[in-house]
Amino acid sequence: MQSGLLIIAQGADPAWFDLSKLPTLIAALISAGVVLFATYRKSHGKNFEVREIAGLKAVEDAIGRATEMARPLLYTPGWGGDIQRPTTIASMNILSHVAEKTARYGCRLVYPTHDPVIMSVAQEVVAQSYARAGLPDRFRPQDISYVTSSQFGYAAAVDGIITRLKPASIFLLGTFEAESLILAETGNSIGAIQIAGTDSTIQLSFFIVACDYTLIGEELFVASGYLSQDKSILASVWAQDVLKLSLIVFLIMAAGWVTLAAVAGFHPGDWWKF
């Protein structure tokens, strides 16, 4: 009994602070500070500038081209993601902007997808965009359709839609896998202007060679803020960029410190002995 009490007594007095967690605390405080500063700047009307992205600048031209040619615009989010994927959410934000433009221009928007949930969300997004444009009567829910959950069945279905409707512009924005080149080549064969974007490094290579414009990686996520100029989205992008830059600087400093420690012959953790 005495030994048990002794063990409890010894284990009941832990250290107040784990020094090994200090870097995590510092990183969390810096991240929180950057986010709060970005929020402060946004609330005081500060502007956040985003560099020009060719693929996003071409969105207006692609919609205008489809309108002038009296041909539809096709938008698809790919087969590889569900509604919870960040790329799908980013694609929905872009869809909202594109749908509002097509409503104002009187251009037909066709949206095939592989997921019934994505279809339902896309119908709501497009309906709200048409209502925001003041033209809810132009919304055609049958153009936002579910085709199939099979990967190559989805690719064949979308290829069939492209071949029959011959859209003037095609947006391939979302999560794509092996169907990416099949869709892009079909769109290229009918002479459509194609704007693609995904976070898959493997599929990006296919989009780059087969499409007119490609949003690479995070350009897809910043697109909604770029198109809408929403200060909340732009502030979050600015905060992320600052944190990434800080991480790069830290990694360079850490590499330099380890190199210096190796040359000087002391342990990198013994910084106070330097």
Residues 188-216 have a mean pLDDT of 92
pTM: 0.78
Residues 9-35 have a mean pLDDT of 74
**Structure confidence by residue, pLDDT tens digits, 66-115:** 999 999 999 999 998 888 898 999 899 999 999 999 999 999 999 999 99
The pLDDT value recorded for residue 200 is: 87
The pLDDT value recorded for residue 13 is: 53
The pLDDT value recorded for residue 206 is: 93
**Structure confidence by residue, pLDDT tens digits, 115-165:** 999 999 999 999 999 999 999 999 999 999 999 999 999 999 999 999 999
Q: SS in 3 state form for the chain? A: CHHHHHHHHHHCCCCCCCHHHHHHHHHHHHHHHHHHHHHHHHHCCCCCCCCCCHHHHHHHHHHHHHHHCCCCEEEECCCCCCCCCHHHHHHHHHHHHHHHHHHHHCCCEEEEECCHHHHHHHHHHHHHHHHHCCCHHHCCHHHEEECCCCHHHHHHHHHHHHHHHCCCEEEEECCCCCCHHHHHHHHHHCCCEEEEEECCHHHHHHHHHHCCEEEECCHHHHHHHHHHCCHHHHHHHHHHHHHHHHHHHHHHHHHHHHHHHHHHCCCCCCHHHC
**Structure confidence by residue, pLDDT tens digits, 231-272:** 777 777 778 788 888 889 888 988 887 887 777 776 666 655
The pLDDT value recorded for residue 118 is: 95
Using 50, 70 and 90 to split pLDDT, how confident is the model at 16?
confident
Q: Is the pLDDT of residue 54 over 60?
A: yes
Q: Is the pLDDT of residue 166 over 60?
A: yes
